[in-house]
Amino acid sequence: SANSHIFDSINKLNYTKIVCMHHEQSLTMAMQTYYRVTKKIAVVLVTAGGASANAITGVISAWADSMPGIIISGQENLKYVKKFKKNNTRMWGIQGFDSAKMVEGITKYSKRLTKAENILYELDYCIHQTLDTRPGPVWLDIPIDIQGTVIKKKLKRYKPKNKKEKINSNIQNKVKNLILNAKRPVFWLGNGIKLSNSEKLIPKLLKNLQLPFFLSWAAIDLIDSNHKLNFGRPGVYGNRASNIILQNSDLIISIGTRLSIPMMGYVEKEFARDSKIIYVDIDKTEYSKFDNKNKFLFYKDNAKNFINFLNNEFDIKQKNKKIINKDWLNYCKKTLRIFPHLEHPTHNDTKGYINSYKFMDKLSNNLKKNSCIVTDMGTALLSGHQKINLKKNQMIMTSTGLGEMGYGLPGAIGASFGLNKGDVICLNCDGGIMMNLQELQTIDEYNLPIKTFIFNNDGYLMIKHTQKNLFKGNYVAVNKNTNISCPNLRKLASAFNMKYFLIKNWTDYKNKIKKILDSKKPIICEVLMDPEQYFHPKLGTTINKRGKIISPPLEDLSPLLSRKDLKKNMIISIHDKSKEI
């Protein structure tokens, strides 16, 4: 009811498309994937009270992943807001609370509109703020009586001022010198490249500076997975070859990635121990989190400006063209041959179940040329982002910052609407899909051709592994035996008017995958996998004799290699330099 005037006005004007979903957190998740696909801002409408509270999960997710979007919340009548706020009362009117203040720390801008004549100015400002510098969500709270005000006078608009920071030429000279003097340089490319709309500059960059490169999980669809200089996706759940190459580098040029713990590992001093880092980010607060500032050269700018700078300085026609160290490039190729991304026997099927990594590998070969994939967390996230191979014009997206379960279905819906009700593959799990199960009805209502693959691993597989690793396998709240159960997916599909497929072996896969991917209707496909399958390779943790949880450096992924095997394939002996173990 606290949004009633807004909905009535939209209905009367009849030019704004409203997509109705069943839970407010789904809206703020779908808002993100709509932008990822279209580069256009979506607006979320929520009412007061619990609705505003429900939306917050997706707002945090958008904040973490630098995703723009505008949230407009309804609010109680302004007279109640003023009265109850003045008296510091917990609740306002019937169900109101201070939603604008609640989201202050997770938005770029949050405001309550108290004067109706300021509406256009505030909307203009929200549109500017959500995209300016580092994007992120904004929140505008509008009391019900303000919504219903008729304004006859001319309204004031917001006009942004042009501001441009000049980069210190001394910093630019340092960047050039570091690149020219590096023997083992690598690029690490991230989502900031997409956010700055500079994807088209990357081929020229790689042609000019023919360096090995890695992609962050938020940017693995930036460049063809089979590009000759693409050496994978390092990190805590990274590719083994990628981590070894990264740890042996002497210069990392990080563009548009915030180098989070999942990327660097748990112990900062163990990260790329012989390497300098050129850290390019629009947000200085991200740089402030690093302990060893001497290791980093901070370049405060957006990715587009920095890439243009490199392309100008290292143009292939210029004299100061960087000549790639062939020994280093050959080492990278050799490492990838020895440690391919699909590992054996780590990724072999077990007990007759389908291994999720092999599933992703095979699915990559069946994807259509413009496939759009949205993943939930757990198996869908880890197997998908570790192993899937993408070609030009294929997309994959998920929540990498907050990593909230339940992102998959609403994310797929937002992407499908961004593609004009187009095909989307949703990679999900039996646990994760339960968080926003209600949105299957949204898919049915709009007849969206979303193919939802659900990995059935009997509950929460990642938590099982944590409890195995740290608590000797004493399971609590992770599977049917410990009171976590999921519904019969065949019956679930029927309830939501969707076709159901079951893949329990590779014969099933071969016989059914084309039918599934070619369908123009919503589909649920259940994939049976080992309820105890490990997610490998990964950076493990263990408890030492003093009871402290410790972790090795990035090159020591589980299952561990012997010291002899590791040294055999090193240019420098990084393993012996580890201080933590």
Contact 28, 409 (CB under 8 A): no
Q: What is the pLDDT of residue 575?
A: 43
* Range from 161-170, 298-307, 386-395, 528-537 carrying the lowest mean pLDDT: 161-170
Q: What angle do CA 404, 302, 189 make, to 5 degrees?
A: 60
One-letter amino acid identity for 477?
A
Q: What is the average pLDDT across 271-278?
A: 96
Burial of 359 (0-12, 13-18, 19+ CB in 10 A): buried
Q: Which two tokens stand for residue 565?
A: 């095997």
Tell me the chain's radius of gyration from C-alpha atoms. 25
User: What pTM did the predictor assign?
Assistant: 0.94
Return the closest-CA partner of residue 299 out of 174, 134, 177, 132: 174
Pick from 130-134, 439-443, 517-521, 540-544: least confident: 540-544
Residue 88's pLDDT is what?
85
pLDDT for the residue 546: 82
Q: What pLDDT, on a 0 to 100 scale, did the predictor assign at position 559?
A: 87
Cα 301 to Cα 305: distance, rounded to the nearest angstrom: 7
What local confidence, expressed as pLDDT, does residue 318 receive?
A: 67
Binned at pLDDT 50, 70 and 90, residue 474 comes out as very high
CA distances from 318 to 169, 180, 200 (A): 19, 13, 21
Residue 218 pLDDT > 50, yes or no?
Answer: yes
- Confidence band, pLDDT 50/70/90 cuts, at residue 567: low
Question: Closest Cα partner for 538 from 237, 267, 242?
Answer: 237
Instruction: Convert 205-226 to b/e letters by CB count within 10 Å (16 or more is b).
Output: bbebbbbbbbbbbbbbbbbebe
Report percent pLDDT > 70 for the chain.
Answer: 95
Q: How far apart are CA 509 and CA 484, in angstroms?
A: 28
Question: Which residue, among 359, 407, 343, has the nearest Cα to 528 in the 3D structure?
Answer: 359
pLDDT in tens, 224-266: 999 999 999 999 999 999 999 999 999 999 999 999 999 999 9
